[in-house]
Amino acid sequence: MTAYAIGDVKITDPAKFEKYRSQAPETIKKYGGRYIVRGGPIVHMEGDWNPIRLVVIEFDTMTQLKRWYHSKEYRGPKQLRHESSNTNVVFVGGI
């Protein structure tokens, strides 16, 4: 079953976040992931949620998604993301 990492990102340090953006895609690809949404325009339709920048990454399985997230390859980029943004992240299984 497919699995998705969904992030709502508020960038606080653009220069440092740019380093993250240059490093993360290679780690995602290594673990079989692919970007579905990466910061495109958002049109608010309902509710109280007002995301600033959405990212959706698809993996073939939840196991692969978790392997990527906890991998040694993603450790450095993840630290950069933590230092340069406020991010809410959820993992969700697909159908």
Q: pLDDT at position 73, please?
A: 98
Cβ atoms within 10 A of the Cβ of 48, count? 5
Q: What is the pLDDT of residues 21-63, one digit of tens each?
A: 999 999 999 999 999 999 999 999 999 999 999 999 999 999 9
Query: Which CATH number characterizes residue 75's domain?
Result: 3.30.70.100
Contact 81, 87 (CB under 8 A): yes
Cβ atoms within 10 A of the Cβ of 1, count? 8
- Residue 38, domain member (yes or no): yes
d(CA 83, CA 63): 26
- Residue 1, domain member (yes or no): no
d(CA 29, CA 90): 19
How many alpha carbons lie under 13 Å from residue 81 in its C-beta half-sphere? 20
The residue segments making up the domain with residue 41 are 30-88
Tell me the pTM.
0.93
